[in-house]
Amino acid sequence: MKIVRDIKEMRQISKKERSKGNIIGFVPTMGYLHQGHISLAEKSVKECEITVMSIYVNPLQFGPQEDFLRYPRNLKKDMELAKKAGVDYLFVPNDSQMYPVPFLSAVEVNTISEGLCGKLRPGHFKGVATVVNKLFNIVEPDIAYFGQKDAQQAAIIKKMAFDLNMPVKIKVLPIVREKDGLAMSSRNTYLNQLERKDAVILYESLRKACSLIEKGERRSAVIAGQMKRLINKVESARISYIAIVDAEDLRELKIIKNNTLIAVAGFVGKVRLIDNIVIKIKNQKPKTKNQKPKIQVNKNDENNV
């Protein structure tokens, strides 16, 4: 695995690989790698001749009161993990190359950036869209891999790539979880022992939603209410939002339908966590008059464009 720190060098490498006819897979990350990131890299290694992973803690997507400076970093360990996953090039640019002063440009994806996390983190998705756009321009991947963990981010990147005719296929892969169900996240490292135990409540609230839907409940308000009740039982947990929306355009849904995203965000102690689930409901046609339609709730669907 080669470490590439220079933008120009990264571009030259990509051009060379492309000229050999190699398909380039790309996994953008902010580092402090865990199995969630690695699952994306492994998929790319499986599907593409060349895998580029980037590690860049993008200052543009952090608000002034957020954790940019203390965001966990461990490049040495990341290098080991990326190499083991089969990454060919680890792109690690620095701030002065990424954002030469003055930096005056930005990419915005309207509407779907405004709800959910966008409401709580003004400017966050503008920062995300801008850096991903820059990384796409530098790496020029054929396929880029993102995690369903950041469902709103994935929806925004897909829309950006579609709207702006970017020559890249966006693939969104399922959430990788700890044994107890907590979604893996670099920020889980901030949790103390008690908070770590409490943090699983977000996933449990999503499971509760699933079980209600499996029993036939379709009213979003009822489902959100039950989730709220469950989370509020945990003292260290504070809900930021529970959103029940269309998984693609993130429009609010009053009634659950096929391809509904249920997303939850909140704090456990001082740590901000997010999690979500996509509900797939398949109403199969009954074979006999008395047979009820079969409902399938698919909890972790792979969601490709």
Choosing from 37, 124, 134, 196, the catalytic residue is 37
Q: Return the residues of window 2-31 that contact ligand AMP according to CB under 6 A.
A: 29-30
The distance of closest approach from Cβ of residue 12 to ligand AMP in the complex, given in angstroms and rounded to an integer, is 25
| CA 43 to chain CA centroid, nearest Å | 15
Min dist. Cβ of residue 28 to ligand AMP (A): 6
Q: How far apart (Å, rounded) are the C-alpha atoms in residues 241 and 40?
A: 27
227 three-class SS: helix
Give the rounded distance of the alpha carbon of 110 from its chain centre.
Answer: 18
283, two tokens: 């109403």
Using DSSP, state whether 14 is helix, strand or coil.
helix
Tell me the one-letter amino acid at 292. Answer: K
Is residue 185 within the footprint of ligand AMP (CB under 6 A)? yes
Other CB atoms within 10 Å distance of the CB of residue 57: 18
Question: Would you count residue 82 as binding ligand AMP (CB under 6 A)?
Answer: no
- Residue 51 backbone phi and psi in degrees, to 5: -120, 125
183 binds ligand AMP (CB under 6 A): yes
- Closest separation between CB of residue 248 and ligand AMP, Å? 17
Minimum distance from CB of 193 to ligand AMP (Å)?
A: 20
Nearer to ligand AMP, 4 or 145 (CB): 145
> How many residues appear in the chain?
305
Cβ proximity to ligand AMP: between 36 and 141 the closer is 36
Structure-token pair, residue 33: 């790698």
Stretches 32-40, 98-106, 219-227, 291-299: which one binds ligand AMP (CB under 6 A)?
A: 32-40
**Residue 198 or 275: which CB sits closer to ligand AMP?**
275
**# chain residues binding ligand AMP, by CB under 6 A:** 16
Active site (annotated) includes residue 124: no
Neighbouring CB atoms inside 10 A of 164's CB total 12
Closest to ligand AMP by CB, 30 vs 87, is 30
Give, as ranges, the residues between 143 and 162 that touch ligand AMP (CB under 6 A).
146-147, 149-150
Least Å distance, CB 241 to ligand AMP, is 18
Is residue 200 a contact partner of residue 181, using CB atoms and an 8 Å limit?
Answer: yes
How far lies 157's CA from each of 24, 36, 146, 279, 297, in Å? 18, 18, 9, 21, 26
Q: Which residue is listed with tokens 């998929």?
A: 43
In the bound state with ligand AMP, the residue whose beta carbon lies nearer, of 141 and 147, is: 147
User: Would you name the residues annotated as active-site residues?
Assistant: 37
* Contacting residues toward ligand AMP, per CB under 6 A: 29-30, 36-37, 39-40, 146-147, 149-150, 175-176, 183-186
